[in-house]
Structure 1
């Protein structure tokens, strides 16, 4: 029930529901709206009413029934005997609160005029016994974000998914009072990227919207209207573009084999064997090592292979035509952004025309420029109803900045690159000069894209981080310290767009903090991160806050070398990976100073050793068990159990890798009896991982994540030792 401040008084939440029957009806009308018509008034109304419903529902959750009354704003101006009125959008001029809003505008005109996109204002007005909270913005997302800012000011938090991840304030915190807020996002794009999940979870969509995520690139988009209502713009594309739109093995329309015997027997050409793209136009495809290559993978190899000849104008035209058709009325017709990527680690054409065109980045930019022209023509003709932003990769072979000027009419406003530092370590911040083995090499490519005075590229840059890179496979790798240092650095370097790979769909465990901290910092990278972390432990873990913090911080230290341990990092142009070396049965497993087996190198590059990692995980286990022993609040217990599920998976994973390292050492030295004994222990962890399908799910695309053993990325090493020592 309501507390005494609200009993006998109405709480109103007012919004303009336009031509819809009610505020609630407008809030649920997303399927009726063309969100890709940027001038749609109904889109503004739907999101504003959804914001009003969100406020009312959160009040109901905190205070109980009856919920606040949802009313049209004109009706709200006539209702009396109110304790609190919350206006989602400026009040009408006929209401006394409307005059108060006009007074605010006159007093703070300059602040309003310069309020950035997605920013909001919350101001208060007292009329007799009623408090009015006015949420105002210049766009629908600003209103939605203002609603969430108001709820946060009252004490609501959305740390994790669903009701279990939400913090409700005590009723006293919702008492009417004067509130004055003005804020806006510092990062323009605050994105989520995942090749493993879709948008079918309403809990996930709610979490994204409430934490101001406004960009989504997911494996499949099934609910585009639900995303758009929450202000989440949709990105399509990726490394599969050539497979879909310029596949050498696909049928080339309207072309047939002249040597097909059916053509000489009077049979209609429709029954003859059609040519493939490679057969019809071999010159369109990459010239690799002295011959044309038609290597574009499919199945598990989709997205890999050899790129096409990007200087062949007919090939470029065909690719752009087919992409434009698909973006107009095909599978990607709901895209607001296009990840326009070539093949993953793909080889680039070596023909003389391509070599003369510039380095790989220059060629990529010229290709982007051509696609932009095709899309603009489609918009001008009325065939394509929206302007799509094109995002291209700064990744592996395109890490070096363009080596010559861009076209004079290159559209910087809608075409920009994503810098992907997949080669980095997480032991050091990206800009740390002490990391001479890895991150400083990346800085030599980062600065020429972002801040160098003589750079050719002069536009905005997207950042694509790897806080749950594919081979981490949802292992809990806290990165509080790295994010505290990296995200402000990115902002100071001019980065205004950000996402990370790969968000998981549920059972986040300690990944909850990674997700929550990231989007708080993307909203404002200069906010008090330490205070945010304190609040997270206090509100999420209650009486167990101190033990939980110790657990997180110890786990972060244990996993500081996670990139080398579980993925890879580059040094001097070469890839180094512990799991990779185990797969290959390499002679040396620890060639980098970053991570040694049982000691730390005397170097600024040096971090935690593998044996130290194992030891610290034991400390983590004691802290987590102690928290579970002492917790009494069932909500806190559920959160700790989710942490435990994911941590147990990590324990098995690290002990498994540690055991393989020991077997490798014994086997190389001829100590077979010790290797055999070590294998017996590793087998227990391997079997536990193999039976663990929960921690790695869901992943709808990749067999590597069928279970924890496959997700180790070094199952081959285990099978090799199994054949030898079992």
Structure 2
């Protein structure tokens, strides 16, 4: 099944004769072969031998002897590891990168590696593809038990990587053995400085007060948003940093010189002139990085083609030791990147960078950052995207998943990506089946059907799969309650198939967590309606009495699964439970506006406003998640008119707004309330100015505004909340501010 990974598999048959017999490495628990290392074996060769010896012992109980090649007696059965003289029988040509060779003649086994960990990769590949071992997730590998171990004679398996850098960022690859087993890398190991690095090189806390000129000139004012790359002192500080850092960490392969997350680029005369000459804001960046890289020709420097630096410079090519790390962040994930309309800008940027550089890495994304646990059915597109990268000259991939926190099908995602990162052109169908059957055992058919149903309904719905999406968005109709019931039935069958196997049941429960998370989040959205967490009680509503225990059980399960945060930089399991406890303890508040019709002057943003205008009168308040129970308006004021259906006396208006600068959401600058008896002639009954957030503040919080009104005869209520006219300088981007309001309580 696994031989689809072989580059070459040759069985030499003598004409008129039967195939040669298998080579028996271990027979009845006793090793027949010795492990032979070069006379001057390197630490990597010794380690590879130890790994093989350890696993042969785990499989069969055998402990093969280990000797140096200069002590080897010709004719003795041997496993030659590393650059022995004997392996040259199969050619001494250099293996590409971290490639390896596994070969046999009629008696011996040979393993040779290229650079880096190539030899270790070869040993783990031998264990997996020939001896039946598997490493499905972090923790101990699966090791078959057999007293006799055979391998085919006349075998030649030469494998070389497609990409020089390969990382899938999920919990499993953080396990050291998993990483080596699956031929993966880690930025923690290979980068001396990683990611958004400007302020690691020139920290604003250290320099901004005394030297604001080191930082970007934005709208005529120096701001700690990015660096001023035309400032010679900045160049000197950065150069001095690398002089020390490289000396202290000479083994690091890559060093980042990259803008901070956001825009706020420098518009001083010199930086602006450079960018104009280069036709892109990446112009000043590439010129700066090239200057630094020229001082350290033995090191490789990476920089980000992302947001304002996405498009390449027109005149200056990146130096030979500069790597462009291109981001695909704006693309939806329900279609392959090669075809998705949302990826058109990324595809053009990749094509344009290819014209001026042969060193292009892609920073890709395979999770929903706003809801790590939400079902994210891109499982069957992962390999297609990696194939597209390979076909278009990409030399390295950082595939960003959920990092160290558990997320939707993270074990499967890591396993599929690891295999495709090594050889993207070879089908992963067998890899998928092998993982499902090996990891989920008798539950595999039902979990497979669940994943296929998710992916099928996603494609049928044509819903965008957004890495900043939400399981409560009405566009995500592959997660409507009817489908959730269908998925739940399949997972019920998986649980039944697992029987009394506690370990397997735990895996099935983990696979089910995203579905339970979606249902819980949706219950906040549905509220007083069917599938909501509220049920009728007297003249109002109260929490379903079963909900507290349901949330508690869910929280315990996600903690056990390894969930540390439910979104990027978001709440912990404990905080999530506390959110629910506060929500369930909060008395439902009646309002004259409950379920009344709302008319908006400016449109809401459909991606984040599942209930549309009704968000303002559904009886539900929002929390810190902007995508749940908030009316989201981008770049315009909130002007909402509520029809109370009959004229009434009004005394109070209460409403909430969200402040979340990380997602470009700001409090209004002013709030006013007008009333009308006929819907045509309005009079203002109250107004309130709101203090602007003038200093950097990226915390998310809800602000409640209680306004007294005197309206003895009002049927229509018009709320106007003025949107911040432009982004604060400290936010550092050129997008429009958004405004978010939840419930309007009228009493």
TM-score range, shorter chain: 0.5 to 0.7
Aligned mate of 2:79, from 86, 89, 102: 86
SS of alignment partner, residue 98 of structure 2: coil
Indicate how the Cα distance of structure 1 residues 528 and 172 shifts in structure 2: closer, same or farther if over 3 A, else same.
farther
Tell me if structure 1 keeps the 8 A contact 2:359–2:394: yes
Provide the rounded CA distance (Å) in 2 between the counterparts of 1:522 and 1:618: 35
State the Cα distance separating 1:373 from its structure 2 match.
2.4
Provide the rounded CA distance (Å) in 1 between the counterparts of 2:88 and 2:35: 20
The answer to whether the aligner puts 1:73 opposite 2:65 as a matched pair is no
The answer to whether the aligner puts 1:325 opposite 2:347 as a matched pair is no
Select the structure that is richer in strand.
Answer: 2
Matches within 5 A, 1:538-549: 538-549=437-448
Q: Which piece of structure 1 moves more, 135-144 or 529-538?
A: 135-144
Tell me if structure 2 keeps the 8 A contact 1:340–1:392: yes
Q: 1:280 aligns to what?
A: 210
Q: 1:208 aligns to what?
A: 179
State the Cα distance separating 1:365 from its structure 2 match.
1.1
SS of alignment partner, residue 62 of structure 2: coil
SS of alignment partner, residue 390 of structure 1: strand
SS of alignment partner, residue 287 of structure 1: strand
Q: 1:153 aligns to what?
A: 129
Tell me if structure 2 keeps the 8 A contact 1:689–1:708: no
Indicate how the Cα distance of structure 1 residues 242 and 118 shifts in structure 2: closer, same or farther if over 3 A, else same.
closer
Q: 2:486 aligns to what?
A: 619
State the Cα distance separating 1:470 from its structure 2 match.
3.3
Provide the rounded CA distance (Å) in 2 between the counterparts of 1:193 and 1:631: 29
Provide the rounded CA distance (Å) in 2 between the counterparts of 1:71 and 1:633: 47
Q: 1:55 aligns to what?
A: 52
Aligned mate of 2:353, from 449, 461, 470: 449
State the Cα distance separating 1:661 from its structure 2 match.
3.6
Matches within 5 A, 1:562-577: 567-568=467-468, 577=469
Q: 2:103 aligns to what?
A: 123
SS of alignment partner, residue 471 of structure 1: coil
Indicate how the Cα distance of structure 1 residues 103 and 314 shifts in structure 2: closer, same or farther if over 3 A, else same.
closer
Provide the rounded CA distance (Å) in 2 between the counterparts of 1:678 and 1:559: 34
Q: 2:204 aligns to what?
A: 248
State the Cα distance separating 1:281 from its structure 2 match.
2.5
Residue deviations 1:218-274 (CA, integer Å, cap 9, x gap):
4xxxxx6xxxxxxxx3453222x3333312331xxxxxxxxxxxxxxxxxxxxxxxx
Provide the rounded CA distance (Å) in 2 between the counterparts of 1:368 and 1:45: 36
Q: 1:411 aligns to what?
A: 319
Residue deviations 1:653-690 (CA, integer Å, cap 9, x gap):
31233234435999xxxx99999759759975766666
Q: Which piece of structure 1 moves more, 515-524 or 715-724?
A: 715-724
Q: 2:411 aligns to what?
A: 512
TM-score calculated relative to the size of structure 1:
0.67
Tell me if structure 2 keeps the 8 A contact 1:51–1:147: yes
SS of alignment partner, residue 480 of structure 1: coil
State the Cα distance separating 1:388 from its structure 2 match.
2.6
Q: 2:730 aligns to what?
A: none
State the Cα distance separating 1:375 from its structure 2 match.
2.8
Tell me if structure 2 keeps the 8 A contact 1:189–1:496: yes
Matches within 5 A, 1:123-522: 123-126=103-106, 131-139=107-115, 141-162=117-138, 165-166=141-142, 168=144, 170=146, 174=150, 177-193=153-169, 204-213=175-184, 215-218=185-188, 233-234=190-191, 236-239=193-196, 241-250=197-206, 277-293=207-223, 295=224, 306-329=225-248, 335-358=252-275, 359-376=280-297, 387-402=298-313, 404-406=314-316, 410-412=318-320, 414-432=321-339, 435-436=340-341, 438-450=342-354, 455=355, 457-473=356-372, 475=374, 477-502=376-401, 504-505=403-404, 510-522=409-421
SS of alignment partner, residue 447 of structure 1: helix
Provide the rounded CA distance (Å) in 1 between the counterparts of 2:327 and 2:542: 38
Tell me if structure 1 keeps the 8 A contact 2:386–2:420: yes
State the Cα distance separating 1:441 from its structure 2 match.
3.9
Which residues of structure 2 form unaligned runs of 5+? 1-23, 580-622, 630-701, 705-741
Provide the rounded CA distance (Å) in 2 between the counterparts of 1:217 and 1:4: 39
Q: 1:104 aligns to what?
A: 90
Tell me if structure 1 keeps the 8 A contact 2:81–2:112: yes
State the Cα distance separating 1:5 from its structure 2 match.
2.6
Select the structure that is richer in helix.
Answer: 1
Which residues of structure 1 form unaligned runs of 5+? 19-43, 93-97, 106-111, 219-223, 225-232, 251-276, 296-305, 377-386, 569-576, 583-588, 597-607
State the Cα distance separating 1:3 from its structure 2 match.
10
Aligned mate of 2:523, from 659, 671, 695: 659
Matches within 5 A, 1:593-632: 595=475, 608-611=477-480, 614-631=481-498
Count how many residue pairs are aligned between Structure 1 and Structure 2: 557
**What RMSD, in angstroms, separates the aligned Cα atoms of the two structures?**
4.0
Provide the rounded CA distance (Å) in 2 between the counterparts of 1:475 and 1:156: 33
State the Cα distance separating 1:352 from its structure 2 match.
2.0
Indicate how the Cα distance of structure 1 residues 152 and 578 shifts in structure 2: closer, same or farther if over 3 A, else same.
closer
Q: 2:735 aligns to what?
A: none
Residue deviations 1:563-606 (CA, integer Å, cap 9, x gap):
967743xxxxxxxx558xx9xxxxxx66xxxx26xxxxxxxxxx
Residue deviations 1:79-128 (CA, integer Å, cap 9, x gap):
95x5xx21102444xxxxx3xx44433xxxxxx536422222222233xx
Report the structure number with the largest CA radius of gyration.
Answer: 2
Provide the rounded CA distance (Å) in 1 between the counterparts of 2:30 and 2:517: 58
Provide the rounded CA distance (Å) in 2 between the counterparts of 1:9 and 1:688: 50
TM-score calculated relative to the size of structure 2:
0.66
Tell me if structure 1 keeps the 8 A contact 2:172–2:178: no
Provide the rounded CA distance (Å) in 2 between the counterparts of 1:368 and 1:502: 28
Provide the rounded CA distance (Å) in 2 between the counterparts of 1:15 and 1:675: 82
Tell me if structure 1 keeps the 8 A contact 2:312–2:349: yes
SS of alignment partner, residue 13 of structure 1: strand
Tell me if structure 1 keeps the 8 A contact 2:25–2:31: no
